[in-house]
A and B are shown apart, each in its own frame.
Chain A
Amino acid sequence: MAHEMQTAVSSPVTDHVHFQTVEGEIREPEHIPHHKENFVTKYIFSQDHKTIGKQFLFTGMFWAFVGGLLSLIFRLQLGYPGQSFPILETLFGKWAAGGIITPEFYYKLVTMHGTLLVFFVLTAGLSGTFANLLIPLQCGARDMASPFLNMLSYWFFFAASVVMLISFFIPDGAADGGWTFYPPLNGLREASIGSRAGADYWLIGMALFIISSLLGGLNYITTVLNLRTKGMSMNRLPLTVWALLITAILGLISFPVLLGAAILVLFDRNLGTSFFLDEIFIGGRHLDQMGGNAILYQHLFWFLGHPEVYIIILPAFGLVSEIIANNARKPIFGYRAMVLSMLAIAILAFVVWAHHMFVTGLNPFVASVFVFLTLLVAVPSAVKVFNWLATLWQGNIRFTPAMLFAIGFVSLFISGGLTGIFLGNSALDIPLHDTYFVVAHFHIVMGVSAFFGMVAGVYHWFPKMFGRYMNHTLGYVHFWITLVGAYLVFWPMHYMGLIGLPRRVWSLDAYQNFSMYGDMNRFMTDAAMLVFFAQILFILNFVYSIFWGRKVTVKNPWQSNSLEWTTEIVPGHGNWKGPIPTVYRWPYDYSKNGDDFIPQTEPYRPGEEKLHH
């Protein structure tokens, strides 16, 4: 009891969060107390996981729009080099003098595009939204284990966003040394214009971001492990929850390392330490900062950086698995293999980081070990793809916009995943490293496919979030333009990489070996504009549907088995009006024994064949 009272003080919801006693019996107050909420506690400093999820989604979508726009601007320079766009000068002044994007501006755009998309959209926007929304709803919990920390998690993210946003408007502009932020380029003020104040903003913004991610992650893990409803054993969890749990564990272990690296770079920049600096002659003087190692930073960075790409893709795995099973009206094929393969990917995530560093002068023997471990990742990835295909086989597929994006996800994941087999093999990495082949690889396998997973999730759970449907026709237009367009933008980049065209070049003019790719660049820029245009349709659809979309009139619009569809159409604070439902089976009993679907809350019928779930 003392424990209950203590938590009740720190948060208004926990008093109706149930507590599982040692005997496994569930105690819950019969009456759910109603708290008076005002506008601020309901919509701004809310502790309701669903509202926090929406806050992550809105902020993530804002950054997706900004980050996408940044890429359009630098694609203008790549596609139309030397051509003047007066509007750019009107908007950006000296950064686009004469209507032409300056190299300084170009590198800022590239850097912030990467930072925003990787961290602010595909990490916070994706995990933040769906872990918050789905973990309590699908586990059968009233809220997160600590709603207060959960609220802090969002507001740290918000603070990080504000710091990053301010860095766009300071005199020397935002950071410009690439999203990987390698020192000494980013560690020395003399090295680049963006390495002045912009880099400090970047580091502080990232530090805040990491705190947000850790607070969120702790909560997700605790909630999944402790607050599942009666009957919800681990092997009855929807794959979304499994994916989000594993993602949170990955983040919890790897993000602190990046925080350490960011703080050390801040020290190098501002306190005269030399963790990453050695024998540097810059701006006409010899630096006193000696004895560090620039490669050490890369080890620290990629120890987070590689798990990070799985932090991005795992939630998409989960969302897509759920959506494919639901819309194919079939159980997800090989549930256990799906969970095991995610666990395998998560474990391997920590022992493959140096494959980003094959050409840094890494010891060749060490590199060869990383080759082996890296290519191992392809095995569980292949299992996942084959299992999704097997789920579609003999299905009865409904093509909701969510399902289309889920299928698009699988296609992109295949295309982008296979090129990883080239890059993970150190010898082949030599010619391909840091070329457009890499840009193609990670955009398709991580960027675009995770984006597809996220969009699929938004379409699928929009009715749960807002009690309305998004417009399907617009969804179809959005999907087909985006899928075709994404391939048109990123596929040709493989070809550019094959001849060694380096990434992060403002102009190809200096080289004659690459001049033939000018036309291709223009084509890709035009395709990128088309794709961006389709995203505007999506945003319009999203905003319009929140207020005026077709209303949801049934509790379970997708005939789904999982718990979130047993709540009210728009659940209030505390999620279920009455007691939390008890769970009797796994969430994938679709088309079993002639029943289209059997919700998790249905007890097994006499004589019904039981899986191990």
Chain B
Amino acid sequence: MGTTIVITIAVVLFVLVVFQLARMMEYVSILRGEEKSRTDNDQLQGKLMLVFLIGGFIALGYSLWAMRDHLWIEPAAVHARWLDSMFFITLFFTGIIFVLTQVLLFYFAYKYRHRPGRQALYYPENTKLEMWWTVIPAIVLTTLVIIGVYRWFQITGPEPEDSMVVEITGQQFLWNYRYPGPDNKLGDFEFRYISGINKVGIDFNDPASRDDFMATEMHAVVNKPILLRIRAKDVIHSVGIPYMRVKMDAVPGLVTRFWFIPTITTKEMRERTGNPDFNYEIVCDQLCGTGHYGMKGILVVETQEEFDAWAKSQPSFYETYVKGTEEEVRFAQVSEQLKKEREGQAQKGAKH
């Protein structure tokens, strides 16, 4: 509390001093003649413009140098490398425009600062010039659009046929992962089947669901395409995997998708980063409530053999947690109810 008071008093005093000084300046300028003090001020502000320009670029350079190890993370998926190269192409063009316009802005401000006796140039327009600076940006942007849309269709296009699939379901505030099991087919789901045990509402009436297993981490095989089927139970979430340059919203009532090909295993990345505890982290990228900041998941990228061994060790969800338990009874009840509801709806529909 003591320090707060001291800081408050210091700030208030400082404000008062600045304020009084500024008031004094006003009287001084009136005494010295307004014209002269205005001209002096224009010189000062004009020079400060140049100082800001130079200082700004030095600060920019310094910040890039100081943060050089933290500006970029190694792309660990095939499309991540495309996106990185696209980023640098965009940075190249925008960088040129950035430097050019900022330099001209502050340099002009400095160079053409008011001086007594000078007059500005009456120069209201130049259609040719304006045409050039309409056409050139248009060409640059067209190039960027073409590159961007080409990559966009590659990334969002259909997944390769040999893709593995995993279902990732967001809820406040964790991720659930479901793998298809040995038959390589994810079973159906129905949100009404969701319960404290059957967290993602697996439909056990679908035979393909019987060997599905739930995992606590996402596992993927290096150099093998993986398709994420993305769902949400309560509010909107978003699956983000920064190293993979993956992001897709999880929306209740919809199934969204994103596929990618990881290229670096977790183990290899641990060596490259020199961090033995390194993990690919899965981030929730859409505000989903109070616990949003902690909604983290882990992605393990491994070799096919390692993956197979892991998958084998994961027990079927149905066999382990549902079969012969109260949950199976509950499931049967809901299933029966749903059937009735659907029949009822079908009859209603027939009447109309």
Contact = CB atoms under 8 A, between A and B. Distances in A.
Q: Do they bind each other?
A: yes
Interface of A: 85-87, 103-104, 107, 176-178, 182, 184-185, 188, 191-193, 277-282, 284, 286, 292-295, 328-337, 359-361, 364, 367-368, 371-372, 375-376, 378-379, 382-383, 385-390, 392-399, 404, 407, 410-411, 414-415, 418-419, 421-422, 425-428, 430-431, 433-435, 471-474, 476-477, 480, 483-484, 487, 491-492, 495, 498-502, 504-508, 510-513, 516-517, 520, 533, 536-537, 540-541, 544, 550, 588, 590-594, 596, 611
Interface string B51-79: 01000100110010001011111000000
A178 B287 contact: yes
Contacts of A182: 235-236, 286-287
In order of increasing CB-CB distance, the 6 nearest A-B pairs are A500-B242, A278-B253, A361-B256, A399-B45, A425-B148, A394-B121
23 contacts: A87-B4, A107-B289, A182-B235, A182-B236, A281-B191, A329-B119, A333-B124, A371-B152, A382-B133, A386-B101, A389-B108, A392-B109, A395-B108, A399-B45, A407-B106, A471-B23, A473-B21, A499-B70, A504-B287, A517-B70, A533-B11, A590-B122, A591-B121
B137 interface: yes
A361 B153 CA distance: 13
A427 B97 CA distance: 22
B287 A177 contact: yes
Contacts of A379: 134, 137-138, 141
B299 to A, nearest CB: 11
B290 A427 contact: no
Contacts of A407: 49, 105-106, 109
Contacts of B119: 329, 396, 591, 594, 596
A434 B108 CA distance: 36
Contact of B72 (A328, A372, A499): A499
A491 B125 contact: no
Interface in B99-141: 101-102, 104-106, 108-109, 112-115, 118-126, 129-130, 133-134, 137-138, 141
Given A328-B112, A337-B125, 10 more contacts: A177-B287, A185-B236, A379-B138, A394-B123, A407-B49, A421-B93, A422-B91, A499-B242, A512-B277, A513-B281
A397 B192 contact: no
Contacts of B287: 107, 177-178, 182, 185, 504
B105 A191 contact: no
A474 B293 contact: no
A434 B238 contact: yes
Interface of B: 1, 4, 11, 15, 18-19, 21-23, 25-26, 30, 38, 41-42, 45-46, 48-49, 52, 56, 59-60, 63, 67, 69-73, 80, 82-83, 86-87, 90-91, 93-94, 97-98, 101-102, 104-106, 108-109, 112-115, 118-126, 129-130, 133-134, 137-138, 141, 144-145, 148-149, 151-153, 155-157, 171-172, 191-192, 194, 196, 201, 230, 233-236, 238, 240, 242-243, 245-249, 251-254, 256-257, 275, 277-279, 281, 283-294, 296
A88 B281 CA distance: 33
Contact of A280 (B230, B252, B286): B252
A84 to B, nearest CB: 11
B120 A328 contact: yes
A392 B112 contact: yes
Contacts of B290: 103-104, 107, 176, 192-193
Contacts of B46: 397, 399
A293 B253 contact: yes
B90 to A, nearest CB: 5
A480 B49 CA distance: 10
A268 to B, nearest CB: 13
A422 B94 contact: yes
Contacts of B256: 360-361
Nearest to B37: A472
B120 A396 contact: yes
Nearest to B53: A411
A182 B230 CA distance: 18
Contact of B101 (A383, A389, A492, A544): A389
A151 to B, nearest CB: 35
